[in-house]
Amino acid sequence: MRSGSPPVPDGTARVRAVSRTRLWARVSRWLFLLPALVYLSLFFGYPVVKNVVMSFQEYSVATFYTGAAPFVGLRNYTTVLSTDVFWQALLTTVLFTVGSIAGQFVLGLALALFFQRRFPLGGLLRSLLLLPWLLPLVVSGTTWRWMLDTDSGVVNEALRHLHLLSSGIPWLTGTSEALVSVILVNIWVGVPFNTALLYGGLQDIPARYYEAAKLDGAGRLAAFRHVTWPLLRPVAGVVLVLGVVYTVKVLDIILVVTGGGPAGATQTLATRSYELSFQQFEFGRGAAMGNVLVLVSLAFALVHLRADRRARNT
């Protein structure tokens, strides 16, 4: 993490002669930020620190009542990292995240571009796209589980009706298919998010830029490349980084749809961490696993911030 003071691009921020009004000007800027910062440090500071501390302790069920949790240094981390399950879970997490994000973003962008043009009922249809987000995950996850059942699921039934296959695809019971299935379900959950944000971003691109591009004789593809994409970048960047951060920690969907099975094929760092903490009551190790997950997310976040800063400086 590179903290401290990032290069401030223009000199107006540095005030040499600090008169009272100028001091006020400087302080007042921070006042805009202050309420949010106070809220966030209250609601995240303590939990985060506690979780980090917990990961260096032997934290068992008894600790909850007695408070006694001896420090064990890095032992939780070494134990967690040295199992072969960990590396499998890490790989699954990466595949799950990359697959989900790629699918969500591409589909989301395509839908956002589609809805960008006005047509009858467009606004209503766009609003209805958000409907899946109004349904609790335990409900939509269960529905998907029924739909993807090998024998009686409606997905296989439809494929059979269309003569696309003769025997059912083991969506949830094949070790490689199950990962594809949870990725598909997660894409389904994520598309409305991507569409709505990207659509909002597209709306903010002034029409005159498109008109100018048209006058220059640019086709639709060129307009996308030279107008849409560069101007959508800040929003697209946030969509991607938040998408990654949210996807890495996805828990409910996997637990409801496959429970991490079959044979651990859909176990990610998040489900492992949950399993360690709340099934095996190894809270210290669960916290260690959870922090590894946080680090994985932060790696993505840093990449995003670098790109963001570069964009700001140009």
Q: Does 162 bind another protein (CB under 8 A)?
A: no
Site for another protein in 238-297 (CB under 8 A): 238, 241-242, 245-246, 248-249, 251, 258-265, 270, 273-275, 277-281, 287, 290, 293-294, 297
Cβ proximity to another protein, 95 vs 235, nearer residue: 235
Which position among 124, 162, 215, 221 is part of the footprint of another protein (CB under 8 A)? 124
Cβ proximity to another protein, 203 vs 216, nearer residue: 203
Say how far apart CA 161 and CA 158 lie, in whole Å.
5
The region of 15-23, 32-40, 87-95, 98-106 touching another protein under the rule CB under 8 A is 32-40
Site for another protein in 75-104 (CB under 8 A): none
Burial class from Cβ neighbours inside 10 Å (0-12, 13-18, 19+) for residue 72 reads: middle
Site string for another protein, 173-212 (x = CB under 8 A): xxx------------x--xxx--xx-xxx-xxx-x--x--
- Please name which of 301, 313, 237, 314 lies closest in space to residue 2, comparing C-alpha atoms: 301
Cβ proximity to another protein, 95 vs 116, nearer residue: 116
**Coil/strand/helix, residue 57:** strand
Say how far apart CA 248 and CA 89 lie, in whole Å.
11
The Cβ of residue 247 has, within 10 Å, a number of other Cβ atoms equal to 26
Query: What backbone torsions phi and psi does residue 166 show, to the nearest 5 degrees?
Result: -95, -40
The region of 16-24, 87-95, 97-105, 168-176 touching another protein under the rule CB under 8 A is 168-176
Q: Least distance from C-beta 134 to another protein, angstroms?
A: 4
Cβ proximity to another protein, 95 vs 214, nearer residue: 214
Q: Are 197 and 133 in contact (CB under 8 A)?
A: no
Which tokens in the block code for residue 310?
Answer: 């570069």
Say how far apart CA 190 and CA 12 lie, in whole Å.
41
